[in-house]
Structure 1
Amino acid sequence: MSQRQMQGQPMIILGEDSQRMKDKSAQEHNISAARAVAESVRSTLGPKGMDKMLVSSMGDVTVTNDGVTILSEMDIDNPTASMIVEVAETQEDEAGDGTTSAVAIAGELLKNAEDLLEQDIHPTAIIKGFDMAATQAKDELDDIATEVDPDDEELLKKVAETSMTGKGAELNKELLAQLIVDAVNAVTVEAEDGSVIADLEYLNIETQTGSSAGNSELLEGAVIDKDPVHEEMPTEVDDADVLLVDTAIELDETEVDAQLSVDDPSQLQNFLDKEEEQLKKMVDQIADTGADVVFCQKGIDDMAQH
C-alpha cells in the first residue's frame, strides 16, 4: 500500500484494556449495563425495601436505601450506566425524592426498548415513541395532581411522613414531619406569579453526634457550631446585634525579633501596662458599637477575651 493510500485510512489506537463493540452488540452491552445499575437499587424501593451496606475503598461504611446515595458511591465506568446515575441526580435536585423510582422506571423503559430492538424497530423510531409518551404523560399530570393548600397542615405532614416511610427516620416521622412543616412554613414566600414557594436557602440542617433523630428541634435564628472563646460568655443570645471583625483583637507582633533591656521591675510593669491599655482601647471600641455578639476572623488575645 502506498503512503498516499495509507493517509486515506482512518487510524484508531486503543489501550490494552480497551474493547471495541459496534452495532447490536454495543446496544445490548449498554442496555444490560444500565439495567444492572437500575436493578441494584430496585430492592430498596417501597416501605418494605431493604437497606444497602456500602463499603468504600477506604473502609468507610454507609448504610442507606437512598437511591442517589447508593449510585453516587458505586464505581461506574460505563457511559450508559453513568446516564442512569444522572437520572437519579436530576430527580434529587428537582424533587428531592423519588430517585429510586426514577431509576427503576428508566430500567424498565430500557428493557422494553430492548424488546423493540429485537423486533428490528429502528432506535430512532423508539426514541420518537418515548418522546411522544413523555409529552402525553405531562399532559396527564394536571388531571391526576392534587392541589395543596399551604395552610392545610395535616396534608403537609402526611406528605412529609410519606417521604420518610421506609427510611431510617421513620421511627421519629411524626416529630420530624411537624418540624419539617414548621420549617417550610417559616421560609415560605409568595412568588411574582402568585404561587407560594419555600425558599430553602434560608434553611440549614446541623447534625450532632451522640443524639437520636428524636432529639431534633427547630431553631429560629442562626446556629453557630463554635464554642465561645471564654467560659463566662453566653451560648444563647436573643435579638442580638452582631459585629463581624476581620482583624485580630490582639497586638501586632514585630516582624523581626526584638530585645528589651530593663533596669528595674517598674519598667517591665510599665511595658505590660501599655500593652493592656492598647488592648482595653480595642475592646472599648467594640463595646461602644453596642454589639452583643462578636465574630472575629482572626485571633483574640486572652486578656481581650476576659
Structure 2
Amino acid sequence: MASRTHQPLYVLSEDSERTRGRAAQESNVAAGKAVAEAVRTTLGPRGMDKMLVDSTGTVVVTNDGATILDRMDIDHPAAQMIVEVAESQEESVGDGTTTAAVLLGELLSRAESLLEDDLHPTVIVEGYAEAARLAGEAIDEQLVDVDEEAELLASVAESSMTGKGTGDVAARDLAELVVEAVEGIATEDGVDRDSIHVHPRTGAGSSATELVDGVVIEEESVHDGMPRTVEDASVAVLETKLEVRQGDVDAEYTISSVDGLNAALKAEDDELRGYADALSEAGVDVLVCRKAIDDRVAGLLADAGVLAFESVSSSDATDVARVTGAKRLGTLEDIEKADLGHAESVSIESDGDDLVFVRGGDASRAVTLLVRGSTEHVVDELERAVSDAVDAVVAARESGTVPGAGAAEIAIAAHLRGAAASVEGRKQLAIEVFADAVDALPRTLAENAGADPIDTLVDLRATHDREGRAGVIADGRTARVGDPLEEGIVDPAAVKREAVDSAAEAATMILRIDDVISAE
C-alpha cells in the first residue's frame, strides 16, 4: 500500500507577516497606549503644548488633541483606531478628543492585566459594554440645573478654552462672545452650527476679537473706482467668468483690413459691455464672482456703481449665497431680480489687508467670530480653541451640562464600583477596571496641574463621598480639590457621553483582535 505524505498548504504569500494570539493582543494594546500617552500631557487647563513639524518644515504648536492626532504619522492599524476615535469625537460634539484618547489608552492598559490573568476577551468586552451603559446613568445623575443659562454657557465655553492658548484673562471675554454668537442664531429648532463662522486674523491681541453680524471674507474689489460700502445691497453670485468667450477648437483668423480689426474689437467690446449691462439692468449692487472678471468689465461696473469681487473661493461664495439668499448663477442670460440676494450692507474694511463684511443677510442669520492673534501660530491655536468652544456651547444647549474638572469622572467611577458588586461572574472585574480607567482622567488633570496624582485622587474620592461633588481646581502652579460648580467649571454632558461610548467601542474592537495579517 502506497504511503501518503501530507504537504503543507500555503494560503498566504511569502511576503505576508502574521501575528497571532497574545502576541497580537499585546502589540495592539501597546500601540494604542503609546498614542494615548502622546496626548496625555495636554489634558486640562494646565496641559502642555506639542510642537508638530512636518516634512516641509511647517510648524504647528497646539495642545488640541484632534489636531495632534490628525497630524501624527501613524502606521500601526490599532493606533490608527485611536485617531478615528478622536475624529469621531470631533465630528459628533467638537470637543473632548483628548479625554476620549486618554480613556481609550487606559481601557487598553487595564484590560492587559485582565488578559494576563486569563480573562477571556469576550468577557472583558461584555463588561466594558455594561460599564459604558452604567456610565451613561451616572452622567445623567450629574446634570446641572441652573437659572442663569447664559452664565452657565459662558462657563462651558471658558472651560473648553482654558489652557488652549487663550490666556486665563482673555478666556472669559472670548467665552461671552461665543455665547453671544450661539444665542444670536439660535431658534426654536436649535442651533445651526454652519451659521457660526470663525475667521482668524493676525496683527492684534486676542482682546481685539469681535463678533460680526454676518459673514467675513478676504477679498479686494476688482477696480479702485468701486464703492467700498453698499447699503441695502442686492447681491449676485456668479459661477462663470466675465471675459471674452473662447472657442473650444483652436483656430486662427486673418484680418486683412483696419475695418476688419475694428469690427473684431467692437464685437469684443459689445460682448463685455453686455455683461455689465445685464448686471446693471437686473439691479445688482454687489457681484461675487467665482471666476475672473475682465478689466474692461470691471471698469464698466465701477462706472455703474457696482461693487465686484473676482476669483472668490467656493466656500466663501457659498457662505454669501446662503446668507443673502442669492442663487449661484452659471450664466448671466435671463438674470432676474429673483436670482439676487439681499444684505443690509456690504463693506470693505482694511486693517492692512482688505476684509469684506456682508451684514444682515435676508435668507439666513449668520455670525462671524473675527479672532485676533499677535502671530500666525497664536491665532491658529485661538481659532481651534474658539471653534471648540462654539461646539461645546452648542452641545451644552442640546444635552445639558455636568460638573467639570474631573468631577463627572469621579462620579462615574464611584457609580461603576457600586454597581459592579451586583454583577455576577467575571464581568464584574471588567467593570471595576473600567472604573479605574475613568479615574485616570482626574488623576491626569492633577498631575498636569502640578499636584500629586495619588493624593489628589484619594481626596477627590473622599470629598465626593462626603459632599457629592469634587473636582481638580487648578490654582496657580498646583491644584486643589473643590466644588467645580462654585468655580464655574462645567462641561457639556454630550462630550462626556461621547468620550465614554467611543472609547469603550474602540477598546472592545481592539481587544477582540487575535490575529494580525499584513502583506506588501
Task: Classify the TM-score, shorter chain.
Answer: 0.7 to 0.9
1:136-164 CA-partner distances (Å, limit 9, x unpaired): 11122221112577x72222111111100
Q: Give, in angstroms, the shift of residue 263 of structure 1.
A: 6.0
* Structure 1: gaps (5+ residues): 192-196
Structure 1 residue matching 2:61: 3-state secondary structure:
strand
Residue 283 of structure 2 corresponds to residue 290 of structure 1? yes
Most deviating of 124-133 and 272-281:
272-281
RMSD value over aligned CA atoms?
2.8
Q: Give, in angstroms, the shift of residue 280 of structure 1.
A: 3.7
1:238-260 CA-partner distances (Å, limit 9, x unpaired): 43211133444344457633344
Residue 254 of structure 2 corresponds to residue 256 of structure 1? no
Q: Give, in angstroms, the shift of residue 293 of structure 1.
A: 0.4
Partner in structure 1 of residue 71 of structure 2: 73
Partner in structure 1 of residue 195 of structure 2: 202
Q: Name the CA shift for 1:218/1:239 in 2 (closer, same or farther; >3 Å).
A: farther
For 2:243 and 2:211, locate their aligned partners in 1 and report how far apart those are by CA, in whole Å.
Answer: 37
Conserved 8 A contact 2:41-2:48: yes
Structure 1 residue matching 2:237: 3-state secondary structure:
strand
Partner in structure 2 of residue 59 of structure 1: 57
Q: Name the CA shift for 1:236/1:128 in 2 (closer, same or farther; >3 Å).
A: farther
Q: Name the CA shift for 1:247/1:27 in 2 (closer, same or farther; >3 Å).
A: closer
For 1:112 and 1:232, locate their aligned partners in 2 and report how far apart those are by CA, in whole Å.
Answer: 69
By percentage of residues, which structure has more strand? Answer: 2
- What is the correspondence of 1:293-304 to structure 2 with a 5 Å cutoff? 293-304=286-297
Most deviating of 156-165 and 247-256:
247-256
Structure 2 residue matching 1:121: 3-state secondary structure:
coil
Q: Give, in angstroms, the shift of residue 19 of structure 1.
A: 4.7
**How many correspondences in the alignment?**
294
For 1:35 and 1:252, locate their aligned partners in 2 and report how far apart those are by CA, in whole Å.
Answer: 60
Partner AA of 2:167 in structure 1:
E
Structure 1 residue matching 2:236: 3-state secondary structure:
strand
Partner AA of 1:229 in structure 2:
V
Partner in structure 2 of residue 108 of structure 1: 106
Structure 2 residue matching 1:241: 3-state secondary structure:
strand
Partner in structure 1 of residue 172 of structure 2: 174
For 1:24 and 1:260, locate their aligned partners in 2 and report how far apart those are by CA, in whole Å.
Answer: 83
Structure 2 residue matching 1:156: 3-state secondary structure:
helix
For 2:278 and 2:165, locate their aligned partners in 1 and report how far apart those are by CA, in whole Å.
Answer: 51
- What is the correspondence of 1:1-306 to structure 2 with a 5 Å cutoff? 5-6=6-7, 9-15=9-15, 19-147=17-145, 152-170=149-167, 172-191=170-189, 197-252=190-245, 256-262=251-257, 276=269, 279-306=272-299
Partner AA of 2:138 in structure 1:
E
* Structure 2: gaps (5+ residues): 300-520
For 2:271 and 2:21, locate their aligned partners in 1 and report how far apart those are by CA, in whole Å.
Answer: 80
Structure 2 residue matching 1:27: 3-state secondary structure:
helix
Conserved 8 A contact 2:255-2:261: no
Partner in structure 2 of residue 194 of structure 1: none
Q: Give, in angstroms, the shift of residue 103 of structure 1.
A: 1.2
For 2:239 and 2:22, locate their aligned partners in 1 and report how far apart those are by CA, in whole Å.
Answer: 64
Pair member with larger Rg: 1
What is the percent sequence identity of the aligned residues?
44
Q: Give, in angstroms, the shift of residue 4 of structure 1.
A: 9.2
1:175-196 CA-partner distances (Å, limit 9, x unpaired): 32122112111221223xxxxx
Partner AA of 1:31 in structure 2:
V
For 2:145 and 2:73, locate their aligned partners in 1 and report how far apart those are by CA, in whole Å.
Answer: 40
Q: Give, in angstroms, the shift of residue 58 of structure 1.
A: 2.1
So what's the TM-score if we normalise by structure 2?
0.52
Q: Give, in angstroms, the shift of residue 38 of structure 1.
A: 0.8
Q: Give, in angstroms, the shift of residue 300 of structure 1.
A: 2.4
Larger RCO (CA within 8 A; separation ≥ 6) = 2
